Structure formats: structure tokens, C-alpha cells
Amino acid sequence: MTRVDVVHEVWQRVYAVQPAPPSNVVLGAAVVALVLVLWSPAWSLTRHVVTIAHEGAHGVAAVLTGRRLSGIRLHSDTSGLTASRGRPRGPGMVLTLAAGYVGPGLVGLGAAALLGAGHAVGLLWGLLLLLALLLLQIRNFFGLWSVLVSGAVVFAVSWFLPTQAQSAFAYLVTWFLLLAAPKTVAELQVQRSRGAGAGSDADQLARLTHLPGLAWVGTFLLVTVGALLLGGSWILV
């Protein structure tokens, strides 16, 4: 297969419309995603996916608000750090900080919209593109490994598996992002209640805006739960 043939094949897959899978597949994907979120041994691994989306959202917000992105680090304890240059205060910094916890839920919401339009395979290729762009900003070995492994899994599913399996995987990823986003917000508040959240996004936002950190946690929760309810309704129609 020539390079032109490969490009044509990818283009066809990205824009192809797939029928929605049977309802048992959609609900089964939701159940598996829920297990990946609620079962602690699984969550200790799958939470890295949420961290990738979280830090990626910080990075996108920084670029869109005119800040200069310096790099992203992902750590083995599922934490991360996105560094950017620009004014230390102001709307750009506020939006950059606020994007992290709502990012996974909003990505899940966008994914649900694509699934509703029948673009399950296109969604996977879109995720692969986002991972490739994120890879350019990674500045540590564990982060590089995390993004490469995630990208390899998405590519393998997108290229080698039959369409039905690709569609099921796309639903699984979407449900996972929608369900995982509120849990990370709840974890944030648990850490804050134990006095371990002084450097959290919510507390940094509190210092920048003079709104209580709890108000920011509530905002994160409202957005992520809203994304879950709206995205879920789009998927289950």
C-alpha cells in the first residue's frame, strides 16, 4: 500500500458514518467504564488517562488565551503539571487553571456528540491526533511513555479491529471520560478537606479571583456532572 493509499484509507475511515451499535453494547460499555472508574485497582491505572486529558486541557486553554506553553509533565502518581508563560494574573491565567478539571468531561461531551452523529471511528482518529499534538509538549519520560501507550492502543483499535469493535471501544472511552470527570473533582475536595489541596487548581483560582476554593470545586462539579447528563442523553437516544 502506497503512502497515498494509506492517506486515502485514513480519510475514508475518519469521515465514514457508522450505525449506532445495539443498545446492549452501549449499556455494556457504560458498565465497563463504571467499573474502570469505581474499582480501585483499575482506577489506579485508568486515572492516568484522565490526567492526560486534564493536562491537555490546561495546555489548550493556555494556547487559546495567548499564553506560551512551556511543556507538560505526567507523573506516575497520576498527577501532572502544565507550565506556561504569560501574565501571572488575569483572565488567561484563570481560564488556563479552570480548564483542567472540566477538560475530561468536555472532551467526553464532544465525543458523545460525534457518536450521536455516527462518527465513532472518526472520534478515535480525532483522539489519536490530539494525543500526537500533546506528545510534542511532553517534557518527561513517564509522560512520554503514557501518551505513547495511549496512542498505540487507540491506533491499534482504529487500524486493526473491525468496525463493530472500534465503535464499542469509542463508546467505552466516551463513557469513561464522562464518568471519570466528576470523580476526580470529588477526589479534589477530599484532598482539600484533609488539608492537602493548598496548591490545587481550585485553591490557586481562589487566590487569583478571591472566590472561595469550594466555589470553584462546585463549578467543576456542576460542569462535569452536566457533561455526563447531557452526553449520556445524546449517547442513549
Q: Which residues contact 111 (CB under 8 A, 6 or more apart)?
A: 123, 127, 170, 173, 174, 177, 231
Contact partners, residue 120, CB within 8 Å, separation at least 6: 18, 114, 166, 167, 170, 171
Instruction: For residue 63, give its domain range.
Output: 22-70+81-236
CA 9/CA 88 separation, integer angstroms: 46
Which three cell numbers, joined as nine digits, stand for 44?
489506579
End-to-end CA distance of the chain: 39
Report the pLDDT value the prediction gives residue 94, as an integer from 0 to 100. 96
Query: What does the alpha-carbon distance between residue 116 and residue 157 come to, in Å, rounded to a whole number?
Result: 20
- Domain for residue 8, yes or no? no
Whether 86 is in a domain gets the answer yes
Match 471511528 to its residue by C-alpha cell.
121
Instruction: Give per-residue burial for 135-153: e unless 16+ CB within 10 Å, then b.
Output: bebbebeebeebbeebbee
Q: CB–CB of 92/86 below 8 Å?
A: yes
Please report whether residue 10 resides in a domain.
Answer: no
Per-residue pLDDT at 18: 80
CA 38/CA 32 separation, integer angstroms:
10
pLDDT at 4: 55
Say which amino acid occupies 228.
L
In this structure, is residue 216 part of a structural domain? Answer: yes
pTM for the full predicted model? 0.93
Q: For residue 3, tell me if it sits in a domain.
A: no
Residue 11 counted as domain residue:
no
For residue range 67-77, list pLDDT tens digits in order. Answer: 999 999 999 99
Amino acid at 35: V
What pLDDT is stored for residue 237 in this prediction?
76
What are the percentages of helix, strand and coil residues in the chain, rounded to 5?
Answer: 75, 5, 20
Is 9 a member of any domain? no
Structural domain includes residue 175 = yes
Extract the residue ranges of the chain whose pLDDT is less than 70. Answer: 1-15, 197
**Identity of the residue numbered 139:** R
